[in-house]
Structure 1
Amino acid sequence: MTASRRAVAITGLGLITPAGVGREETWTGVLRGESTAAHDPLLKELPVDFSCRIPTMTPQQGRIGGGKAWRMGRFSQLAVLAAREAVADAGLDPTSWDGGRVAVVIGSGLAGAAHLEEQTLRLQSGPDLVSPVLIPMLISNMAAGEVLLDLGARGPSLATETACASGASALAVARDLLLSGACDIAVAGGTEAAISPAVTAGFQRMGALSTRTADPAAASRPFAADRDGFVISEGAAILVLERAEDAHARGRRGYAHLAGVGLSSDAHHPTAPAPGGTVAEVALRAAIHEAGLTPADVDHVNSHGTSTPLNDQTEGELIARVLPHRPTVTSAKGVLGHSLGAAGAIEAALTALSIHHATVPPIANLTADTLAFPLDCVLDRPRRQAVRAAASHSFGFGGHNVVLVLCAA
C-alpha cells in the first residue's frame, strides 16, 4: 500500500451529536450501537413525530461566551463549540497562531431554516417582532463566519452547500486549500440544526422519513430489508487539517490522513441517486486512485447508509461491485439519525476514530436476518479491526457525490 504524497493529517476532532456532547461521548455512544431516536415535542402534531436530538448540554459545554450566542443560529453555535474542541484537541492555541494562515470551511444543508420558520410565525403578529439578527441567524455562511470570529482566523473562508454531502465537501475544499499553499491550518466540517415542523413535514411528504412512530428507536435501520426511511437529526463535526509534514514537525501524528478525494455529479434527478450508483462509483474510484491505492486496499467503508429504500439499494450495489473483497461496512445513522449537511463531516470524523482505535462501530437495528445486501456489515457490537484505508461516502440531493479516503497516519 503506497501512501499519497498529497495526504493531509487530521490532527483535531470536535463532535456534538445525539450520541453525546464532545468527541469521546459521541464515540462511546456510537460504539454502543443504540439508536438515539425519540418522540420530539416540537413535532407532536405531525405524522412523523420523532427525531434524534443532541442531549442537553451543561452550561460549560454550551457556553459561547461574550454575550454572542443571542446573535447566532443554532447551527452556528454548534459549529463554534465543535471547532473549539477540535482546535484544543489538535494542541493549537488561537491566541498565538498566525490567523492569516488559518482557513475555515464549513458546510450546512439547511443552515438557519428553522429560525426562518420561527420568525415567519412571528411576522404574522407584526414586523416589529421579527428578530433584528434573523439574517445572520439564517444565512449558511455564518457558521464559518462565527468560527472565524471566535478563533481569530483570517485566512480563506468558505461555506459549502451540497445538501447531505456538505460536510464532506467542506473537508475536500479545505484539503485543497492546504495543498495549494493558501493556508497552513484548515478548520473544516459540517453543522446542522434544522429540525422543525415545516422541514420535517417536507421530508415526510416526499416519503424520505421512516414512519415507525410506534417505535422510533427501531426506525433507522441502514441496509435492512424492512427499512422505510431516515430519522431527521442534528449535530456538528469540525476537523483540524494540516499538511502531514507540518503536523509531524510539531510532533503530531494525527488520527489519520485524508489521502484521497473523489467528486462526481449524477445529473439524474433532483433527489434520487443514479441507478446502481454508477456515477458515485466515479467518485469512489477517483478517491481511491488519488490516495495511491487500489480498491482491494480498502479495509472499511463508512457508508452514507441513510436507511431509505433507494439510497441503500444503490449504495449496496456500489460497494458490492467496486469492493467485492467485502470490507467491513458501517453506518452511524442507525444510532445518530441523518444530520443532513453535518453527516459527511461527522462520519469522516468517526472514520478517523475507527482507524485510530482499530475499531469499527456496529449498525443499529440491523441483524443478520434482516441484512438485505451481500456486505460485511458490522452487527450487534463493535468489531476490532486494523483499518489501514477506509472510504467515507456522502451523497446529497441534487446528485452530489463526495468520497473521502482516509488512511492510517
Structure 2
Amino acid sequence: MVARGVGICGVGVVSAYGWNRQSLWDGLASGRTAAAVVPELGGAPGDGVWAARVDDDGDPLDGPSRFARAMRAAAREAIEDAGTRGWQPGRRVGLLHAVVLGEVDLWRDFYITRGGRLPVRDYLALMPSTPMSTFMQEYGFHGPAMNVSAMCASGNAGLITAKAWLDAGIVDDVVFVATDLSLTPENIAHFVRLGVAVVDAEPLDACRPFQQGSRGFVMGEASVAFVLSRRAARPYALTLGGAMSHDAYHVTSIDPQLEQVRGCFADALDNAGVRASDVRYLNAHGPGTAQCDAAEAAVLEELFRPGTSVYSVKPLTGHCQGAASAIEVAVTALGYDRGVIPAPPVVASGHPALLDGLTPVADGLTVKSSLGMGGHNSAIVLAPPA
C-alpha cells in the first residue's frame, strides 16, 4: 500500500487566514472562522456580507491581481517547503492548476470599467495559461502544464490527475495548485439565489455540517499548492488513489438514489487497494446543505465501519469553491504531520460520528470526498507517511 502512494511533500496555502500555511493552521487550531463581514461584497453601500475573503496582499511583481499573486505565493511556498523536506526536482516537473473561475477581478474590470479596452500585455494576463506560463519560466520546469476544472471537486480531480501522471511515468514530479478567488458581489448574489450560500450570519451559526440548524455555507477563497513526488524523504501524507464519477442527473442537485456517489467511494477504495475497514476518517465535502450532508452521512453509515469519524472544515475556511477540496486535503496532510485534526467545534445536535474540535489523530486512513455542483463526484484516499 505504501509503495503505491505518492507523497505530498510540500504544502503552500493562501487563505482568508493569511498568506502562508502556518496562518491556516493557527486559524483552524483556534476554532475561529476565517470569515468576516466584508462591506465591498454587498449589493449596496453598507450592505456587507459574511465571507472568507483573501486579503489584497502578495508580491506585486507576481501579477496585477490577487488571483495571480496568490497562485504564485502558494506554489512558491510549497516548493520551498518540499525542499526543506528532502525533495529535489526531477527532469520533468509538471504543473496542474485547478481553476473554475479565474481572474474574476480583472475580467470584471475589463468589461465594466474599461469597456473591453486594454493594452495587449494586460489582456494576456487574463488568459488562464498566463500564470502557469510565467510560473514554469520562474523555475525552469519543462513537464506538461494544464488546467483542471471540476467545480468544487477540482482539487480532488487535480490530485487524481497528478497521481495518474506519476503512475504513467509522464512526469517525475508534479506541482499542483488550486486557486479560487472569485468573490464578487455578482457571484455571491447568485449563490444566495440558489439557496446554498449564507451571507447574513456568522458561519458557526449558519454552516453546521452534519448538525441541526445548518442553512448552507459561507463562501470563501483560497489558493493551495502541493508538491507531489515519490522521491521525498519526509512527506506529510501519501495519496494512495482515488476516483471520480458524474451523476449525469442535474445541474445543481445530487441524484437522490446516490448510485454514482456510492460507486465513486467504492471505486476510490479499490483504486487505492485498501478496504473500507482501513478508513478511520471521512474528511467530508460537508458544505452544510441538506442534500450534500445527507448523501455523505448515508455513505458513511453504509460503507464504513462503526467508529469511522467525520468532519468538515467549511465553517472555518468557508467554501472555497474550486479550491475547496485542496484546502481540505491540506488540513489532512498538516494534521497527520502535527498529530491533530483541527475540526470545528460542534454547536448543535448532530451526527454521532462528528468530530468536535481539536482531536488527536488515530491510526488509519482518511477519505477526502468532494461533491462538485452539477454532479462531479470525487474521493481520494490519504494515508499517514510510513
Normalising by the residue count of structure 1, what TM-score does the alignment of the two structures yield?
Answer: 0.87
The residue that corresponds to 2:74 in the other structure is 82
Shift of 1:135: 4.4
1:339 and 2:320 correspond: yes
- State the Cα deviation string for residues 81-122 of structure 1 (Å, max 9, x = none): 0111111111179xx855x51000010111123322232211
In the alignment, is the contact (CA less than 8 A) between 2:52 and 2:221 conserved in 1?
Answer: yes
Which amino acid is 2:336 matched to?
Answer: I
Shift of 1:326: 3.2
Alpha-carbon distance between aligned partners in 1 of 2:157 and 2:131, rounded to the nearest angstrom: 15
Alpha-carbon distance between aligned partners in 1 of 2:134 and 2:283, rounded to the nearest angstrom: 29
In the alignment, is the contact (CA less than 8 A) between 2:163 and 2:241 conserved in 1?
Answer: no
In the alignment, is the contact (CA less than 8 A) between 1:335 and 1:363 conserved in 2?
Answer: yes
The residue that corresponds to 1:270 in the other structure is 251
Shift in alpha-carbon separation, 1:55–1:114, aligned structure 2, 3 A: closer
1:221 and 2:208 correspond: yes
The residue that corresponds to 1:383 in the other structure is 359
Shift of 1:35: 1.4
2:192 to 191, 204, 211: 204
Alpha-carbon distance between aligned partners in 1 of 2:152 and 2:217, rounded to the nearest angstrom: 12
- State the Cα deviation string for residues 316-341 of structure 1 (Å, max 9, x = none): 21222211423121111110101100
- State the Cα deviation string for residues 213-264 of structure 1 (Å, max 9, x = none): 1545633222222111111111111010012xx22xxxx1311110011111
- State the Cα deviation string for residues 31-51 of structure 1 (Å, max 9, x = none): 222112221122232677221
In the alignment, is the contact (CA less than 8 A) between 2:206 and 2:213 conserved in 1?
Answer: no
Which sits farther off after the overlay, 136-145 or 161-170? 136-145
Match of 1:299, SS state, is strand
In the alignment, is the contact (CA less than 8 A) between 2:252 and 2:374 conserved in 1?
Answer: yes
Which amino acid is 1:182 matched to?
Answer: I
Alpha-carbon distance between aligned partners in 1 of 2:294 and 2:378, rounded to the nearest angstrom: 18
In the alignment, is the contact (CA less than 8 A) between 1:75 and 1:112 conserved in 2?
Answer: yes
Normalising by the residue count of structure 2, what TM-score does the alignment of the two structures yield?
Answer: 0.91
The residue that corresponds to 2:240 in the other structure is 259
The residue that corresponds to 1:21 in the other structure is 19
Alpha-carbon distance between aligned partners in 1 of 2:282 and 2:124, rounded to the nearest angstrom: 37
Alpha-carbon distance between aligned partners in 1 of 2:69 and 2:145, rounded to the nearest angstrom: 17
1:32 and 2:30 correspond: yes
The residue that corresponds to 2:97 in the other structure is 106
Specify every segment of 5 or more residues in structure 1 that has no aligned partner in the other structure, as ranges.
Answer: none
In the alignment, is the contact (CA less than 8 A) between 1:166 and 1:190 conserved in 2?
Answer: yes
The residue that corresponds to 1:63 in the other structure is 59
Match of 2:244, SS state, is strand
Which amino acid is 1:385 matched to?
Answer: V
Alpha-carbon RMSD across the aligned residues, in angstroms, is 2.3
Shift of 1:392: 0.7
Shift in alpha-carbon separation, 1:26–1:122, aligned structure 2, 3 A: same
1:232 and 2:211 correspond: no
Match of 2:4, SS state, is coil
Shift in alpha-carbon separation, 1:307–1:102, aligned structure 2, 3 A: same
The residue that corresponds to 1:313 in the other structure is 294
Alpha-carbon distance between aligned partners in 2 of 1:48 and 1:271, rounded to the nearest angstrom: 26
Shift in alpha-carbon separation, 1:275–1:138, aligned structure 2, 3 A: farther
The residue that corresponds to 1:52 in the other structure is 52
1:281 and 2:262 correspond: yes
In the alignment, is the contact (CA less than 8 A) between 2:38 and 2:48 conserved in 1?
Answer: no
Which amino acid is 1:376 matched to?
Answer: A
In the alignment, is the contact (CA less than 8 A) between 2:56 and 2:66 conserved in 1?
Answer: no
Alpha-carbon distance between aligned partners in 2 of 1:79 and 1:408, rounded to the nearest angstrom: 26
Shift in alpha-carbon separation, 1:172–1:141, aligned structure 2, 3 A: farther
Total equivalences in the alignment: 381
2:162 to 147, 151, 174: 174
Alpha-carbon distance between aligned partners in 2 of 1:335 and 1:142, rounded to the nearest angstrom: 31
Give the fraction of aligned pairs with identical amino acids, expressed as a percent: 29
Alpha-carbon distance between aligned partners in 2 of 1:188 and 1:122, rounded to the nearest angstrom: 33
- State the Cα deviation string for residues 136-178 of structure 1 (Å, max 9, x = none): 4434444433432332211011100101111221111111111
1:193 and 2:181 correspond: yes
Shift in alpha-carbon separation, 1:137–1:167, aligned structure 2, 3 A: farther
Shift in alpha-carbon separation, 1:146–1:346, aligned structure 2, 3 A: farther
Specify every segment of 5 or more residues in structure 2 that has no aligned partner in the other structure, as ranges.
Answer: none
Alpha-carbon distance between aligned partners in 1 of 2:122 and 2:369, rounded to the nearest angstrom: 33
- State the Cα deviation string for residues 289-315 of structure 1 (Å, max 9, x = none): 222211011011111111122211212
Shift of 1:56: 5.8
1:362 to 334, 340, 343: 343
Shift of 1:127: 4.3
Alpha-carbon distance between aligned partners in 2 of 1:353 and 1:18, rounded to the nearest angstrom: 17
Structure 1 segments (4+ residues) deviating >6 Å: none
Alpha-carbon distance between aligned partners in 1 of 2:294 and 2:344, rounded to the nearest angstrom: 16
